[in-house]
């Protein structure tokens, strides 16, 4: 039987494995339902599940102030991040470019955490963050094709908002989200997310949906695996660890996604991409390993 410390050590790796499948689930869903509508339906279904879990568990409810903080976290970590990425891609930004921009998140989180929360990073940890970024760039460079010259300012703005939102949201949860039951906190986060994404779907999507088993399966995966299991694991990570260390695990997500896309969709994964995966993993190790 694993003790608490051993179980917590497994949480980041479980999170990365689950979170990396988000792109795969979206790729199966988007051909049959427009992006913001996918996200909106995903959030509504997630709220139903969390409402049932809260009714069953009956945890201690949070104060109005705590609920307000969780609404802010939901707006930043879920609504702005997911909405920004989908909007940028919908507005002609290549997915590879968007992935590179999002790959800056651990470095930005570490920098803001250093300035805002006074989190101290050793030289080797900064080196690990840089190595992680280099690894991500190596992986993405082997799958990116396209011309960024036709990308409008609105797509760059959306991706920038997404990057800043996930970075600030991670730190905001670390600073103001303590003392709240994880499920209660997530429930309020998804309320804010559903409201924002509902407005985006109403504004930008046509509402056309082609219902089939592929779409239903993709939505089920996105809800149960990503929005429930993975998000709860992420909140545990934020509660238990430094924000910069938590963010460094996101470096592993593009690498795993590339592997999954190679297996499922026969996308390119050459020797340079494989080296990039190793470099990213090395960077994460340097950032999160224990110090004497």
What is the Cα–Cα distance from 31 to 265, expressed in whole angstroms?
15
Q: Provide the pLDDT confidence category of residue 292 given band limits of 50, 70 and 90.
A: very low
Range 257-263 average pLDDT: 71
The two tokens of residue 39 are: 């996200």
Cβ-proximal residues to 76 (8 Å cutoff; 6+ apart), any chain: 165, 166, 168, 169, 172
What residues does each domain of the chain span? 30-121+149-242
Which two structure tokens, joined as six digits, stand for 75? 């707006």
| H helix runs in 74-212, sequence order | 81-90, 95-102, 105-116, 123-141, 153-176, 182-204
Q: Give pLDDT tens digits for 179-238.
A: 888 889 889 999 999 999 999 899 888 888 899 999 999 999 999 998 888 878 877 777
> CA–CA distance from 141 to each of 22, 48, 53, 172, 271 (Å)?
20, 39, 42, 32, 12
What's the pLDDT score for residue 289?
63
- Per-residue b or e along 250-279, where b marks 16 or more CB atoms closer than 10 Å to that residue's CB: bbbbbbbbbbbbbeeeeeebeeebbebbeb
- pLDDT for position 66: 93
User: Does the pLDDT at position 288 exceed 70?
Assistant: no
Judged against a pLDDT cut of 50, whether residue 272 lies above it is answered with yes
The residue that leads in pLDDT, 112 or 167, is: 167
**In the predicted model, is pLDDT for residue 148 greater than 50?**
no
The percent of residues above 70 in pLDDT, for the chain, comes to 77
Instruction: Return the pLDDT at 196.
Output: 93
What's the mean pLDDT when you consider all of the chain?
79
């Amino acid at each position: 039987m694993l003790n608490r410390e051993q179980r917590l050590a497994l949480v980041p790796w479980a999170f990365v494995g689950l979170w990396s499948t988000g792109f795969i689930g979206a790729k199966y869903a988007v051909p049959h339902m427009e992006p913001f509508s996918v996200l909106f339906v995903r959030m509504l279904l997630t709220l139903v599940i969390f409402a049932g879990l809260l009714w069953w568990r009956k945890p201690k409810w949070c104060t109005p102030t705590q609920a307000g903080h969780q609404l802010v976290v939901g707006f930043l970590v879920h609504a702005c991040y997911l909405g920004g990425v989908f909007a940028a891609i919908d507005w002609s930004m290549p997915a590879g470019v968007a992935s590179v921009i999002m790959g800056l998140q651990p470095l930005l989180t570490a920098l803001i955490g250093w300035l805002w929360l006074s989190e101290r990073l050793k030289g080797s940890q900064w080196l690990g963050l840089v190595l992680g970024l280099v690894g991500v760039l190596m992986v993405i460079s082997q799958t990116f094709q396209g011309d960024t010259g036709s990308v409008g300012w609105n797509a760059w703005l959306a991706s920038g908002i997404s990057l800043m939102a996930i970075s600030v949201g991670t730190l905001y949860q670390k600073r103001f989200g303590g003392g709240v039951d994880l499920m209660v906190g997530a429930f309020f986060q998804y309320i804010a997310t559903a409201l924002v994404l509902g407005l985006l779907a109403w504004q930008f999507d046509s509402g056309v949906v082609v219902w089939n088993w592929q779409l239903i399966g993709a939505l089920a995966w996105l809800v149960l695996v990503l929005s429930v299991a993975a998000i709860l694991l992420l909140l545990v990570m934020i509660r238990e660890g430094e924000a910069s260390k938590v963010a460094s695990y996101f470096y592993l997500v593009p690498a795993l996604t590339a592997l999954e896309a190679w297996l499922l969709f026969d996308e390119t994964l050459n020797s340079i991409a494989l080296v990039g995966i190793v470099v990213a993993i090395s960077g994460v190790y340097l950032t999160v390993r224990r110090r004497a």
